[in-house]
Structure 1
């Protein structure tokens, strides 16, 4: 079957080790099921995998990709939940210390077919296209959990999103504005800031800009490049929710400001199967749909990966299969 995969890591030149070609057909063990992929979305996790971050060479070749929508063995339209918990685990999958994502221990979704635990398949709403549904399990689910589960913030409060154009950021803007939050963003270019305003952001600023007032919460996925600004932008008692660090994992902690102004720093990662279903119901009710930057055939995977690596994004990058 056709797939996008990696056979050897390259920390400094990840695109050089991205391969698109034939891989063996997957076989579903007991309790697992095969999904025929119609669309699969790209995430920063896939670039990290090419670099060998969280994916040692001994697990390669590895088909990349966490997100997919397609059809199950009965022809039903489904969405794949990317978090694979350990056998026998009950409760919040994100708290399972032995959890993994597809393409870490198990072959990923950037392929014609993928096998997943049967519990990781959820019905796709008819109102969502395959491309829209494939955009949800990582970036949109991460945004949903950050804002509605982990932050403690309420509609009417002001939330700053660092980085206006990525998948998580655009999801936060769309979900937050639909739910009644005042969403502010930072963006590196006028084009990115204008696009965020069109998605529902109330105000957009240059990176590091002094804000008109301090905010109740900051949604962080950038890390080193924005961390200091995030902490300084908060009101006393405010909260920063962090889900990643695409620019590095060694930010200046600003600990003096954290304890003097009693800030909360909250971690958040992915989301549960139930939260994915709640997210899809919210989209059905509100009419909000994922912002898709570009949809490409899987044979053009290099173009999609290059767009993400170079920051040429305005929403999700999706591959049709």
Structure 2
């Protein structure tokens, strides 16, 4: 079968390690696992970081990339794959710990993938495979940032930095549907206009002082926006972290400010299967559909990775299988 693999890892030239190749069809390791015929899979920054060698275990590779996917199970049912393996001991030996697809297990950028049966959720008929494939990563991260970690309520103000990527656009869609006042910063006028069309209440150029302070700040940019995030949140408010695309070492952590103002700093990484189920229910009830920037056939995966590396996205990149 066809798969998109990381064959080597290079922090400076990550895409040189990307290869589309034929590999053997996967076989479930035990009766608790099954094969999913993938119809669509979405690209995350995690995949690009993997090619840079971030979080890669020694001796790893070739590694099938991709943690998010949707397709057909062994019975032909439309299913979404929860990418966290080992939750509550499902699919792994006792004490094995948590992992995600494309780390310790082959990922979803392939015509077929194996996963524990427990990790499969039914796709509602309203969602296409391409839309469903966006949910487990970016949209589940955004859902957790807003509803598990920020402690915001309808009517509160939430600031999102750097509109365009999958998590940022998901935050705007989900937050607006939940009755939050979504403020957005963007470096470009085009990004600001798109954010308004997506439902943001107000948009601002990146880095400028805001007319007020937010109840919570959603931080996925990192070093480049950290000082603005701290300055923009109310005393006692929350800064919720789910990534650092501009680097994870800001020149000034502002620890004294964080302590003196009683700010809450929350980190978000892996979501639970139950939270993914709640997200699907919420999106279905509110008519939310993931925003897709571009769809590529799996054979053109290089183009999707290059588009993500170059920046300027507005929504998710999705790979569609040829079958």
Question: Where does residue 316 of structure 2 map in the other structure?
Answer: 316
Question: Where does residue 44 of structure 2 map in the other structure?
Answer: 43
Contact 2:150 2:240 in 1 (8 A): yes
Q: Using the TM superposition, name which of 298-307 and 54-63 deviates more.
A: 54-63
Contact 2:78 2:123 in 1 (8 A): yes
Q: CA deviation at 1:86?
A: 5.9
Flag as ranges the 4+ runs of structure 1 deviating above 2 A: 86-90
Question: Please, what TM-score do these two structures have when normalized by structure 2?
Answer: 0.95
Q: CA deviation at 1:98?
A: 2.4
Quick check: 1:295 aligned with 2:295? yes
Question: Where does residue 27 of structure 1 map in the other structure?
Answer: 27
Question: Where does residue 83 of structure 2 map in the other structure?
Answer: 82
* CA-to-aligned-CA distance 1:189-244 (integer Å, 9 cap, x gap): 11111111111111111111110101110001111111111011011111111111
Q: CA deviation at 1:259?
A: 1.0
Question: Please, what TM-score do these two structures have when normalized by structure 1?
Answer: 0.96
SS at the partner of 1:59?
coil
Question: Where does residue 93 of structure 1 map in the other structure?
Answer: none
The CA distance in 1 between the partners of 2:248 and 2:129, in whole Å, is: 33
Q: Using the TM superposition, name which of 96-105 and 223-232 deviates more.
A: 96-105
Contact 1:145 1:270 in 2 (8 A): no
SS at the partner of 1:282?
helix
Quick check: 1:203 aligned with 2:202? yes
The CA distance in 1 between the partners of 2:196 and 2:128, in whole Å, is: 24
Q: CA deviation at 1:89?
A: 6.5
Q: CA deviation at 1:100?
A: 1.1
The CA distance in 2 between the partners of 1:88 and 1:300, in whole Å, is: 36
SS at the partner of 2:89?
coil
Q: Using the TM superposition, name which of 286-295 and 80-89 deviates more.
A: 80-89
Question: Where does residue 236 of structure 1 map in the other structure?
Answer: 235
RMSD: 1.5
The CA distance in 1 between the partners of 2:270 and 2:104, in whole Å, is: 17
Contact 1:9 1:57 in 2 (8 A): no
Q: CA deviation at 1:56?
A: 3.0
Unaligned runs of 5+ in 2: none
